[in-house]
A and B are shown apart, each in its own frame.
Chain A
Amino acid sequence: MNTDELKSLKSDKVVDARGTACPGPLLAAKKAIGDIQSGQVMEILSSDEGTKNDIPKWCKKMNYEYYGSIDEDGIYRLFLKK
């Protein structure tokens, strides 16, 4: 998905993992994913750039659909569908 498509997505759950470093964002995402149903969209906010590489791999392993990320001044918004 491109940036505009991502921006227009409606997230069912937003996980704020800003200010945490590896493995904080991953563990936060894991904790939150249980709160949404299959087919719903989750957004992860992270200030750790490595998250951009980690979350797609996590999605692949967990069979979630990774949509992409938006960079906003050092904050990364990552989108996925459970």
Chain B
Amino acid sequence: MSLEIEQQVKLLEEQIKSLQSRQANDQISIIVFSGDLDKVLASMIIATGAAAMDMNVKMFFTFWGTATLRDKAKSAKGKDFMSKMFGFMLPKGSTKLKLSKMNMCGMGTSMLKDLMKKKGTPSLEELIATAAELGVEINICEMSMNLMGFKREEMMNYPKLTYCGVASYLADADESRIQLFI
């Protein structure tokens, strides 16, 4: 009888251990799919806010979002025709993003930027700098880079920058309490 109980206790201990290892961390994963100014702003506000709350923050920039991280002062050589076209058509960095609504040939975007300055809302560039200070991790989708023809040498300097794929995102999301797709 006591042997049976002992075995049951052992089994329970093992189960608890495996449950504990699967418990989510105090971590947030954010996919930034959009390259629209308003949406990237929202994602950076959430990211810096979460970092201010001492959460681990992992951002994954993919598809149109990738263009946000281009450095307007940098360029890359040896691109093929399509890559050059994409490079030309897509915004070169955070300052060149446009609003998803009411852009009005750029008028809406510059109006919003003026308004943000007046109201004391941090700009996207300030938020990215704060994110760097607070240790927010930025992951860039390698496949999107290839697809859009972006090269690593034209991306911005950021302390915690890595290039990865879907498995990295999923592994991090699996450990996160909050996951967002923006």
A: which residues have CB within 8 A of B? 19-24, 26-27, 29-30, 48, 58, 61-62
Expressed in whole angstroms, the Cα–Cα distance for A21 and B54 within the complex equals 20
Does the CB pair A58–B53 fall under 8 Å? yes
B132-151 contacts to A, CB under 8 A, are: 134
Binds A, one of B5-13, B88-96, B119-127: B119-127
19 interchain pairs, CB-CB under 8 A: A19-B120, A20-B120, A21-B119, A21-B121, A23-B48, A23-B52, A23-B122, A23-B127, A26-B49, A26-B52, A27-B48, A27-B49, A27-B122, A30-B51, A30-B52, A30-B134, A48-B120, A61-B53, A61-B54
Does the CB pair A58–B121 fall under 8 Å? no
Nearest residue (CB) in A for B49 is A23
Chain A nearest CB, measured from B174 CB (Å): 22
B: which residues have CB within 8 A of A? 45, 48-49, 51-54, 119-122, 127, 130, 134
Does the CB pair A20–B122 fall under 8 Å? yes
Expressed in whole angstroms, the Cα–Cα distance for A20 and B120 within the complex equals 4
Expressed in whole angstroms, the Cα–Cα distance for A62 and B48 within the complex equals 15
Chain B residues with CB below 8 A from A22, complex form: 45, 121
Chain A residues with CB below 8 A from B52, complex form: 23, 26-27, 29-30, 58
Chain B residues with CB below 8 A from A21, complex form: 119-121
Chain B residues with CB below 8 A from A48, complex form: 120
9 closest A-B pairs by beta carbon, nearest first, are A30-B52, A20-B120, A21-B121, A19-B120, A61-B53, A21-B120, A21-B119, A23-B49, A23-B45
Expressed in whole angstroms, the Cα–Cα distance for A57 and B120 within the complex equals 22
Chain A nearest CB, measured from B164 CB (Å): 27
Expressed in whole angstroms, the Cα–Cα distance for A5 and B50 within the complex equals 31
Most buried by A among B48, B120, B121, B134: B120
Expressed in whole angstroms, the Cα–Cα distance for A82 and B47 within the complex equals 23
